[in-house]
Amino acid sequence: MAEIPANSPLSQFRPRRVLVPVAIGVAVTLYLVFGLSRLDMSGLAQISLSQHLAIGVVISILTVAVRDIAYIYRMWLLTDRQLSWWRCFEVIMLWEFGSSVTPASVGGVTAIFVLRKEKLSFGKGAAIVLLCSYMDNIAFILVFSTLFLIYGTSMFVLPPGCAELGTAPVMTAIRTMAGYAWIGFLVVGITGSLLGFGIFVKPQWARSFCNRVARIKWLHRWRAKIELLGDEIWYTSREFKTRGVFFLLKVLIATVISWTARYALANALIWTFTVADLNMLDVFVRQCLLRVITFIPTTPGGSGVSELGFIALNCDYLPAGLTTAVAIIWRLLNFYLYLGIGAIVLPRWIVRVNRAN
């Protein structure tokens, strides 16, 4: 791998630093899935090659492709088409890689650094990262609100469950937590509203407010991060406030498509491995509930908790003995895939940007 300077934000990606959280994530996954839950994978013996299986696999792969293409298109728009689609692909893969192995706050700094190396200004990079975060929140609010209009409070009421839950109290607890997903929705809604107000209505006021909050004594530890948030809000407003509704709508549509495809991966996999006649919108609702649970910071990339959450919320849709296997396949496609791609892209990207600079 190309040399990464010790003082660079990319130092988080040094092999030693990457392997530690990945090893922790894999260990937690193995413990939660095979040790704590004690689930088996005997249902694998029931799988046979068929047209249904082949179609399901293709659809699953397509959801991953649509997710990434929509993200790449969004990045291409936000960079004013200064970056080629391939360079946007590299930026997205490095961003996903960073989010998988570092805390969320570090991932954002890393994304700004990557964009800076692509010859965008610091202000532009910070604005792109914050607007992406804002659009992710708005996309979640739109999808969740639409489902709530369709299902009402019944979307938070889960049936008794499946046989696997009896041997794993922790999964029963996760299933119970899903009934309170509305709390997570309210938190995202409030933070999204405040962020939108700061970006599009009163950016200078928001910047001053963050600076004042940062001076509070008991928040001194987070002073630099709070002040940075104020600066990012101001940069984002300066870059995107006057772009017009049509531009922002295109960015939002790309974001909604990407997140819908992310959720739909579980739908595709569940359809692939079950012969039951399921309501796929019901299945989709469960993935939104799972998303709220994974908001809670745990292991790098949510390893272990995500897998167990998938099993807890989707076990009644799959044949006994198959839930664990499908959860692992789901995690391979939406998490470990990006670790592998990031590990390939990173050294090549470092060589390219170093030559350019």
pLDDT in tens, 294-345: 887 666 666 677 888 898 899 888 887 788 888 889 988 998 898 889 889 9
Is residue 211 within 8 A of residue 227, CB to CB? The reply is: yes
Q: Which pLDDT score is estimated for 67? A: 97
Tokens of 51: 């047209």
Q: How confident is the model at residue 27 (pLDDT cuts 50, 70, 90)?
A: confident
Question: Would you give the DSSP letter of residue 277?
Answer: -
The amino acid at 11: S
**Chain segment 87-104, per-residue pLDDT in tens:** 999 999 998 888 777 655
pTM: 0.88
Give yes or no for a contact between 113 and 126, defined as CB atoms under 8 angstroms apart. Answer: no
Write the pLDDT tens digit of every residue in 222-281.
788 888 888 888 888 888 888 889 999 999 999 999 999 999 999 999 999 887 788 999
Pinpoint the alpha helices (H) of the chain. 15-30, 51-78, 85-101, 104-117, 122-151, 169-178, 181-200, 203-214, 223-240, 245-272, 280-293, 305-314, 323-331, 337-356
pLDDT tens-digit map of 174-183: 888 888 889 9
What whole-number distance in Å separates Cα of residue 334 and Cα of residue 207? 35
pLDDT single digits (tens) 10-25: 555 666 666 666 676 6
